[in-house]
Structure 1
Amino acid sequence: MRVSARALPVLLGPVVGLLAVVEAHLDAAFAARAVTVWAPGLLLGAGIALAAWFPVAGALAAVACFPLGLLVGAPDIGGAGLIGLIGITAWAGWRLPRPRSLLVLGAAVAAGVVTSLLAGQSLWEAIFQPAILLPGYLLGVLSRTNGERAAELTRLAAALDAERERTAYAAVAAERTRIAREVHDAVAHSVSVITLQLGGLRRQLSDPLHRDVVLNLERLGRRSVAEMRGLVGILRDNANTGTPAPEPSLARVHELIAEVGAAGLPVRLDVTGERGEVPRLLDASAYRVLQEALTNVLRHNGPAPTTVTVGYAAERVTVEVVNEAGLAADDTSGGGHGIIGMRERVSLFRGTLLAGPEPGGGFGVRATFPISDVVTS
């Protein structure tokens, strides 16, 4: 399940603040000076929560728990404080650009080391701070790298899909040219020769009835040659002046519905929500999932009444195909992708795909594509 970039600090901040208060009152080592422990903990929790809207400012406010603890005389930052600091540095490595995340890590390490030395703690305490924060930060950076790699793979998959379409179109155009050439050079030529021979035969016949029959055949031959030459022109025009299919997008869903409707599938389309800014790669993948689901309905269930629902929301895009035939709309043979292919497309965006029988009969495919809430500030 995809975790929103803003949801994590919003949830972690209050939890850290609450843990700091509980720790201060339940740990015997802090019981006599509880306020000096939970006050820095509350500041840490508030800074973490603030980072959801102001990433760097909130993270630096959270790091200020170190000097605050020194000012109020806290004996230690406590376990809750360490949890919070590890969490905010890991989050910074995950969601912030590298210079800003390093700023947060450097501030946390510097504040911890300086505070430990000013408080007269051992050298080990000064070493312990960066030693405990650095792994958390690196884990966040690793998560960010994996996310960027997944996005790049998605981009490459979309580019490969587009290149495959261009290659298929070029192959179709070449085949049209070849067919046009064969029709012109072989079939049309042969029919022309036959027509000329019929004309010669007609002139040698003396019986008027036979002459009329051959004349009709001659006219039919000439008309056939003219029609074949027109067909050759159409094939060459389509091959030379046609344009590739438009880029796949849910904005063209009505065209897709019209195509499958013309193929004999009765489809009803429902669109909910307002289409806002949909990422291009996500838009193309959602269209392909919808296209594959409808193709499978045609392939397996024939003219089964089908309902298509496309839903737009602020954080997700959903596509749904439900048919009334009750058969699994899947095909993993013969070069088809089927439900496995749909699931692979959805997983690129960490979405979900549900496919199976409907409670009231029929078969449904539902795909949800989360729209990433990337922190840019």
Structure 2
Amino acid sequence: MVRRWTERARAVWRWAWRYRYTLADVGYALVFFPPVVTGMVLAFSYGERFGWGPGALPELLDETSRIAAVIVALQIGLVIPGLVALTVLVRRRRPEWLMSASLLLVALFGNVYAAPIALYSYAAWFTHRWRPLLLWSGAHLVALVAVYSFWQPVLIPVYGMMFLAFPLLFGLWVGTRRQLVENLRERAERLEREQHLLAETAIVAERTRIAREMHDVVAHRVSLMVLHAGGLEVSAPDERTAQAAELIRTTGREALSELREILGVLRGGGDTAPTAPQPALGDLERLVDSARAVGVEVEFGVTGTPRELSAQVERTAYRVVQEALTNAARHAPGAAVDIRVDHGRHELTVTVVNGPATVDGVVPVPGSGYGLVGLRERLALVGGTFVAGPLSDGGWWVRAAIPVTPAETPRTVEDNP
């Protein structure tokens, strides 16, 4: 209940903040309507002394009764302030309308109560129009002096300061402050854009350097490995050695192809993904066959009901199996590996278990030490969980649970043995 009311209050606040200027115009119109009406009443009361108020109408027009004159005066006293209120609503789009209405009120009725909002609005929202502002302010001052010289000359300096000078100066201060804040905001945005450009330039330079280093070190040595494997395949003394050399050559060429794609992305400085097909669950059989070809004993099975999965989920599952097989071959040579892929209702579970090493004297392949860290990051991106650790018999196990969205529909695929 409290949360719902809080959300409603936030929605109302966002709406009010979005239309804050329109609401301010409506507020100004409502606030200044009563003073303008009061100014009309005072104007009629002062006008009777000079023979043109409602009380003097019967002397000018004998056919009009005093009651009718009062009714007409009331209508005028309400209609004119209503029209002024309408001009207040468009004060930021049509400031000359409000200025004209305020000047006519001062010149015809001595009503100065619309002048503050008119002068303030023009000074606050149109700070670059100095000449029109000076003309409008001077016209208001001349009208004030001309009217109140006959009524109350003593009020001229008081009304001039209260209804003309103070609103004008306050509007100029508000407009200058708004313009300064906008300039500072624009400058901050420009500096932020420049910082982003400098950062992007530094990133492109770093990408180019990394691509150059990878090409000079990794690509060169892998190319030599492929060439040597090709030569060994041609001159192999037996068929088994030739098959092993062919596997090494094929694996090396695939690694070079992927490396070239990565180098192209780094050198180009873009975020475009490689256009080559990315590995999926359907490629696990080929990955397992490659591991078996080099002498790794692998058991692979699929349980559950397979379904159409997103490319990100399938690629993540493939990378988990690939990294687990690589680690098993690196740290536990000769160990048997068991791979299980379970298609659950809400998640895809990949479990890889390998036993202890059974072959001694094998020189371990150097690794970066970031394989498991990278898998945890991959699983975190898809909202999954990743667990890895040693077993009591000296082996190692890896388990990854990848969430599956309900929209993914099952498909009929026979389980692998």
TM-score, normalised to structure 2's length? 0.44
Q: Quick one: higher RCO (CA 8 Å, sep 6+), 1 or 2?
A: 1
- Computing the radius of gyration from Cα coordinates, the structure with the larger value is 2
TM-score, normalised to structure 1's length? 0.47
